[in-house]
Structure 1
Amino acid sequence: MLSIFIALLVNLFIETSVSFTVVVPRDQIVAHVGSTVTLPCWISPPENAEALEIRWYRHDQFSNPVLFYQHEKIQDLQEESYRNRSSLTRCSGQSGGLKDGDVSLQLEKLTVQDEGLFHCYVSGESTYGSQEMVLKITALGSAPVLFPQPLDDGRVNISCRSSGWYPEPNVMWRSDERTVLHPGGVSRRRGVDEMFSVHSWTVVSHLDTQLVSCSMSLKTGEFRESRIDMQAFISSGSSDPWKALFFTLLICALLGLVGLILYKYRHKLTGKKPADQNCEHGGMENRKAVGDVNIEELRKHADQITIDREHLHPDLKITEDCKIVRDSPDYNHTGEGFPYQLCAFGDQRFTSGRHYWEVSLAREKTPPKNYWLIGVVKHGDFTAKDRSALTPSNGFWFLCSDGRNGFYISSDPSVTLSLAQSPERLGVLLDYDDGQLSFYNVKEKKHLLTMSTRFTGSVVPLFNPGVGDLSPLIILDCPKPEESPVESSQPLLINSSKPEESPVEKPEPIESPEESSQPLLNNSSEA
C-alpha cells in the first residue's frame, strides 16, 4: 500500500513538473488566395520545444500531417499537397522560436482547398496538448463590368459581371448612391479553381435614376464597385439609338480594358502585389509591396496630429505637447484581454482628402511595443468598452497588436492577421474620398495592409497604448516635403535597392514617464 502511494506521488510530481498547455489565438485566421500565412501556436508556460514532437494536421488526418517535427528535425511524413509549402516559423518578431516554445506553422501559396480546421499537437515524454484553429480563405475579384441595354418600353436593363471571388460575394445595386435597387436576378458559377464568377442585372428608368452602381463585397469588408451615368447614356441615344448603343459598347469596352490594365499593374500603382503574390493579413486589401514604399511621397499628405485632452481616458497619461501617451502606473488591469477602453483621440477632424501620420512604437535599444491599437474613429464615438463594439459599422477602423494573441483589425467577425514582424514605426494613410485606411512599416518601408470602407461624417485619429509595455506610444512630427508647382506623379513605390534616408527625426525616446522632457500628465481637470 505504501509503495502504491509513493508511486502515485512520483507520477503526480512528474506530470506537474513537465506539463504544459498548447495555446492558439482566439479568433479565426483570414488570408488571401496565393498569399503566405502564419498560424500561431505556442506552449505555456514557455519552454524549449526542440526536443518535443510537433504535429500539424487537418481534420482527422493525424497520420497524414501537414507538418511533422520529431527528433529535432522535420520528418518526411507529410500530406503531399503541403510538401514544399509548410514550415515552422516564429509567430512574431519578439518570439524566440522553438527555444521559446513557439511552434507556429507557415503556409505558402494558399489555395481555396487550404480553408478549414488545423490542429496544433505538441507531445513530450509524459504529457501532450492540442488546440485547433480555423483558416478562412478569401479572394477579391475583378472590378464589375456594367453593360446597359435599352428596352422597348424606354427603360434600361443593366448587367453587372465580375470574376475571381471567394467565397461567394454579396451583390448590391444602388441608385444615386442612396436608394437600394432590387436586382432582377443573380447567377453564380464556380470554376475549376473553386472561385466564383457572378452575373447580376437590374432594370431602371432614366426618369427616376441618374447614377447606378453595382458593388460586390465579402464579409471581411472588401468590395469592388462600378458606376454608370444613366442620363448621359439616355441623352446620347435620343437622336440615334444605334449610334448611342455603339458608343456605349465602345466606352464599356475601353473602360473594361483600362480596368483590366489597372488591375494587372495595380502593384506598380498602389504598392500591392497581384493576387498570386498577396500576403493577406486580414481583412481588407492586405498586400505586400513589390518594391520599397516611397515614404517621402506618403509624407506629402502629412498632418500634425495631437491628442484631444477633453476626451482622453482618465487612466492614460500624456505629455504637455499632447504627442506621447501611455497607461498610468496606477491603472488596475485584470490581465484578461486587451484594454480597449484606454483610448485617446486625435484633436484633428477629417471629412475629405488624404491625411498621413506616423507613430513610434519602440524606444532605442528596446523591443517594439507588444500592445497597441491605432486607426481612426467616427467623431463622437468616444466610448470603447469591449471588442464587440469596435467594428466599422460602429465607426471604428484600426489595426491592433495584442501581444502573443497576434495582430487583428476591426472587423465583424474578428480577423487575425499574420505580420512578419512588429513595426517599430507605423505609418497611417487615410484616404477619405476613396474609402481606404492603409498601414505601413516605415522603418522597413513596406505596405502592411489597406482597409476598404465608406466613410461618412468626420473621422479622427484613434490611439490606444495598451498596458504593461516599457515604451510609450509617440506621435511623431512628420513635416511635409517641399511641394513642386506641379503635383508629383511619382509612384508611392520605388524599386531601388538603396535605402532611403529619412529626413524626419525621431523624437527623443523617454525612459519612463517621469524622465520625459515633456512630463506625462494625468487626464484631470488640472491638466
Structure 2
Amino acid sequence: MRSIIVLLLLNLLTDCSVSFTAKVPPGPVVAHVGSTVILPCWISPAQNAEALEIRWYRHEDFRYTVLYFQHGKIQDEQEETFRNRSSLTPRSDLSGGLKGGDVSLQLEKIIIQDEALFHCYVNGDSDYSSAELELKVTAPGSAPVLFPRPLDDGRLNVSCSSSGWYPEPNITWTSDQRKTLRPAAVSLHRAADGLFSVHSWTTVSPSDAQLVSCSVSTTTGESKEGKVDIQGFISSDSSDLWKPLFLTLLICALLGLAGLILYKYRNILTGKKAAGPDGENLPVQERKGYIEVQMSDNAYENASVPVDMNIEDLRKHAEQITIDRENISPDLTVSGDCKSVRDSPKYHHTAEEFPYQLCAFGAQQFTSGRHYWELELALPPNPPKLSWLIGVVKHKHFSGKDRSALTPSRGFWFLCSDGENGFNTNTDPPITLSISPRPERLGVLLDYDEGLLEFYNVKERKHLLSMHTRFSGSIVPLFNPGVGDKSPLKIVDCPVEEDSPAELTVPSQSNCSAENITEA
C-alpha cells in the first residue's frame, strides 16, 4: 500500500515538473481596423494552463501588459488602451481552451496603434516559456474618385482622391491599354486617427486613351480601383459644341443690351420714370432674369475626398437656415423654431432600405453665391446619429419615395449615412465612403456659381467630400433625419461676420420662412 502511494506521489511530481514550450503560428497576423482578431498561442506538450501564469505584453517589456492571468483569473494590470478589449479566447473549437493549454489572446475593436510585436509568456512552478507574434493592422480605404477637367491645350487634367487607408498607400495610373501613366503629383495626408488620405493627378490626351484608371493599394494586398471615360467627357464638353452656344449667347446679349438702351432712351424722351430694380413696372418679357440659360444637371457628376479645411473661413458664409413646414413628410416631427426634425413616434419603418421619403426642406432658396450651414448630429448624452441624409435639392422637386427618384438628373445632391451600411452619395455611379470618426456636427457649403457642394466634419475640422455639378434654378437645403436614432437632426446657427455684405435670396412661403439672407 505504501509503495502505491509513493508511486502516485512520484508521478504527480513528475507531471508538475514537465517542461513546456509556448508556440505561435509562423508569420504575422493581419487584422482590419475595427475588427476582432485572435492571436494564437498554446503550450506544448498540451497540459492544463488554468494554474499557470499567463502574460501578454508588447515592446519586450512587462510594463506594457496587454493581459495578465494569474491565480485562475485575469488581473487588473494592463495598458489602459486594452482595457475591456482583451480576453483569453480559444483559437478554435477543438483546442480545449485553457484546460488544453490554449492561451490565445483576443483583441476587439482593432485600431492602428495596436500594430506591434506581441509576446506570449507562460510561467509554471518549474518552467517558463515565451513566443513572439506580430500583429499587422490594415485599413482598406474608399474607392478612388476620379474627376477630369479640360486644359487649354486640349488635354485633360484627371484628379484621383481616396481616404481611410493604412498602411501608407501607393497610387498607380493606367490607360485602357494597361499603359502606365506618370502622375504629375502625389500628396499624402495622415489624420489624427492614423489613417491616410491620398490625392494625385495626371494629364492625358484624348487621342491616347479612352478609359483612365487610378488604383490605390497597400503592401498588405489591399487594392481599390476607379475609372473614368474621358472620351465621354470630351464629347459632352467639346469646344465644338460650345462654339454655337457661345455665338448664340453673344447675339442674345447684344440684342438685350440694345433693347435696354432703347428702352431707357425712350424714358428720357417721354419723361417717364424708369422701373424699379425689381422690374415690377416692366412687361413680363423685359423683366430681369426672364431669359435664362439652362445647363444640364447631369452633364457631369463626380465627387472627390480632400483633407482638412479652416472652419472659421467657411462660417464667413453662414446662413440662418430653417425648415419649411409646408413642404415636409407627414411622418416627420418639426420643432417650434423650425430648427430640429426627427421621425415621428407613430412612424414604423420595416424595410431594410433607407427611408428616403422622410425628407424636409429648407425655407431659404439660393440662386447664386456661397452659402454655409451646420447640423448637429449628436446631442449628449446620445451617441452620433447613424441614420441621416443631408444635401440640397432644386426648389419644388420635392417628390420621391425611393433612391431611384432622388438623382442629380432630378435635382437632388446629397450625402447619406445609412447606419451600418456606411456612407454613400447619389452621384452616378454611387460612391461608398469610409468616414472615420462618425461626424457629430456636419458642415455644408453650397457654392452655386462654381457648381460645388461640400461636406465637413466640423468637430474634427475635416473636409469629407466635394460634389461637382451644374446648378440651375433655385436650390434649397435638404434634410432627412432617418429613423431609429435618439437624437434629432438639428440645424445650428453659426456666427456671421458683421461686415458681410447682404445678398437678397428668395425665401419660400412657410411658417418658418426667413427674411433677407446675408452672404459673404
TM range (shorter): 0.3 to 0.5
Q: TM-score, normalised by structure 2?
A: 0.46
